[in-house]
Amino acid sequence: MAKRKPQLIAYHVGVTLLTMISVGTVLLLLMGVGKATIEIAIINGLLVVFAVDYVARLVLAKNRKIFLIQSAFDLLGIIPLHPVFAFFRLGRLVRLIRYHHLFWRLRLNSKWTRAYHQFIYKTGFIYLFSFSVTIIVVSAFLFSLTEKQSLANALWWAITTATTVGYGDETPHTAIGKIIASVLMIGGVGFIGLLTSTISGFFTTRGQQVAASQEKHEQADFDQLLLKIEALTTKVDDLQHQLDTTSRHKQR
pLDDT of the residue at 46: 94
240: buried, middle or exposed (CB in 10 Å: 19+, 13-18, 0-12)?
exposed
Whole-angstrom distance, CA of residue 53 vs CA of residue 56: 5
Is residue 174 within 8 Å of residue 147, measured between CB atoms? yes
Q: How far is residue 23's CA from residue 83's CA, in Å, rounded to a whole number?
A: 9
Distances from the Cα of 3 to the Cα of 6, 8, 123, angstroms: 9, 11, 32
Q: Position 200: which residue type? A: S
> CA-CA distance, 185 to 191, in Å (whole number)?
10
Rounded Cα gap, residues 71 and 57, in angstroms: 10
* 143 touches 157 (CB < 8 A): yes
Residue 4 pLDDT: 63
Measured between alpha carbons, how far is 88 from 74 in angstroms, rounded to an integer? 7
Half-sphere exposure of 70 (CA within 13 A, CB side): 16
Q: Strand, helix or coil at 201?
A: helix
Sequence-distant (≥ 6) Cβ neighbours of residue 160 within 8 angstroms: 166, 167, 170
Query: Which ranges of the chain does DSSP label H, i.e. alpha helix?
Result: 6-31, 36-60, 64-70, 72-76, 90-99, 102-105, 111-117, 125-147, 151-162, 175-183, 189-251
Query: What is the pLDDT at residue 233?
Result: 85
- Right CATH number for 109-210 from 2.60.40.1940, 1.10.3720.10, 1.10.10.10, 1.10.287.70? 1.10.287.70
Phi and psi torsions of 153, nearest 5°: -65, -35
pTM value is 0.62
pLDDT at 1: 46
Distance CA 188, CA 142 (A): 15
Q: State which amino acid sits at residue 186.
A: I
* pLDDT of the chain, 252 residues: tens digit per residue: 455 678 888 898 999 999 999 999 999 988 888 888 999 999 999 999 999 999 999 999 888 888 887 787 888 888 887 788 888 888 888 778 777 666 666 665 556 666 766 777 677 777 778 778 888 888 888 998 899 888 888 888 988 888 888 788 888 999 999 999 998 888 877 777 888 788 888 778 777 777 777 778 778 877 788 888 888 888 887 787 777 777 766 665
Q: Where are the domains of the chain?
A: 1-108, 109-210
pLDDT of residue 252: 59
